[in-house]
Amino acid sequence: MAGLSDGGLLARIAAQEQEALAELFRRYGGRVLAYVRAMAAAPFPHEDAVQEIFLTLWQKAGLYAPQGGEAAGWIFTVTRHKVFDIQRSLGRVRESGGLDLELFGGAPSEVDPTLAPSVQKALAMLPEDQRVPIRLAYYGDLSYDEAARRLGLPAGTVKTRIRAGLSALRNLLLRKGNP
Amino acid sequence: MNPRFHPREDHWLDYAAGQLDAASRSLFEAHLAFCEPCRRQAAQYTAPGGALLAGLPDLPVPPAMLGGILARLKAPEPPRVGAETLPIPRSLWSLLPSLQGASWRGALTRGFRFLEAAPGLFLIHMEKGRPFPEHGHTGLERSVILAGGLKDAGSVMEAGDFDEADGSRVHSPVALPDEDCWILASLEGGIRFTGWRGVLQRLADK
CA A172 to chain B, closest CA, distance in angstroms equals: 10
Higher pLDDT pick, B111 / A176 = B111
Q: Do A18 and B45 touch (CB under 8 A)?
A: no
Looking at residue A161, its pLDDT comes to: 98
Contact A179 B50 (CB under 8 A): yes
Reported as a single tens digit per residue, the pLDDT across A5-56 is: 999 999 999 999 999 999 999 999 999 999 999 998 888 999 999 999 999 9
Scanning every residue of chain A, which has its alpha carbon at the shortest distance from the alpha carbon of B90?
A62
Query: In order of start, what are the domains of chain B with their CATH numbers?
Result: 80-205 (2.60.120.10)
Interchain contact, B18 vs A75, CB within 8 Å: no
Whether the per-residue pLDDT at A106 is higher than 60: the answer is no
Which pLDDT value is given to residue A43?
Answer: 87
Set of chain A residues whose Cβ sits within 8 Å of the Cβ of B67: none
Q: How confident is the model at residue A109 (pLDDT cuts 50, 70, 90)?
A: very low
Nearest to A33 among B13, B59, B91 (CB): B59
State chain A's mean pLDDT as an integer: 85
Whether B162 and B152 have beta carbons less than 8 Å apart is answered as no
Sign of CA pseudo-dihedral A159, B168, B153, B86: positive
Q: Do B50 and A74 touch (CB under 8 A)?
A: yes
Query: Which residues in chain A are contacts of B69 at CB distance < 8 A?
Result: 21, 25, 51, 54-55, 58
Confidence of residue A111 (pLDDT cuts 50, 70, 90): very low
A41-58 as b/e: b if 16+ CB within 10 A: eeebebeebbbbbbbbbb
pTM of the model: 0.88
How much is the ipTM here? 0.88
Q: Are strands B112-118 and B105-107 parallel, antiparallel or unpaired?
A: antiparallel
Chain B neighbors of A78, CB-CB under 8 A: none
Residue A132 has pLDDT above 60, yes or no: yes
B64/A contact by beta carbon, under 8 A: no
Confidence at residue A36, expressed as pLDDT on a 0 to 100 scale = 95
The model's pLDDT over A71-81, given as tens digits with 9 standing for 90+, comes to 999 999 999 99
State which residue of chain A sits closest to B24, comparing Cα positions.
A81
- Give the separation between CA A156 and CA A154, rounded to whole angstroms: 5
A129 to chain B, closest Cα gap in Å: 18
* Domains of chain A, CATH where assigned: 1-92 (1.10.1740.10), 95-179 (1.10.10.10)
Instruction: Find the range with the poorest average confidence among A70-84, A88-102, A151-165, B17-31.
Output: A88-102
Closest partner CB to A31 (pick from B45, B53, B68): B53
- Predicted confidence at residue A126, as pLDDT, reads 94
Give me the total of CB pairs closer than 8 Å, taking one residue from chain A and one from chain B: 200
- Provide the pLDDT for residue B79: 93
pLDDT of residue B42: 94
> B90, B70 in Cβ contact below 8 A?
no
DSSP letters of chain A?
Answer: -TTS-HHHHHHHHHTT-HHHHHHHHHHHHHHHHHHHHHHSPSSS-HHHHHHHHHHHHHHHGGG--GGG--HHHHHHHHHHHHHHHHHHHHTPPP---S--GGGGTT---SS-TTHHHHHHHHHHHS-HHHHHHHIIIIISS--HHHHHHHHTS-HHHHHHHHHHHHHHHHHHHHHTT--
Instruction: Give the per-residue pLDDT at B138.
Output: 77
Check residue A97 and give its pLDDT: 57
How close B39 comes to chain A (CA, Å)? Answer: 5
CB contact under 8 A, B49 and A29: no
> What is the model's pLDDT at position A140?
92
Give A58's pLDDT tier (boundaries 50, 70, 90): very high
pLDDT in tens, chain B (206 residues): 789 999 999 999 999 999 999 999 999 999 999 999 999 999 999 999 999 999 899 999 999 999 999 999 998 889 999 889 999 988 899 898 888 888 898 877 788 899 999 988 999 999 999 998 887 777 888 999 999 999 998 899 999 999 998 877 788 889 999 999 999 999 876 667 766 666 556 655 55
Other C-beta atoms lying within 10 Å of the C-beta of residue A67 = 10
Residue among B48, B54, B65 minimizing CB distance to A111? B54
Residue A108 has pLDDT above 50, yes or no: no
8 Å CB contact between A61 and B90: no
Please name the residues in contact with A147: beta carbons below 8 A apart, sequence gap of 6 or more: A133, A136, A137, A155, A158
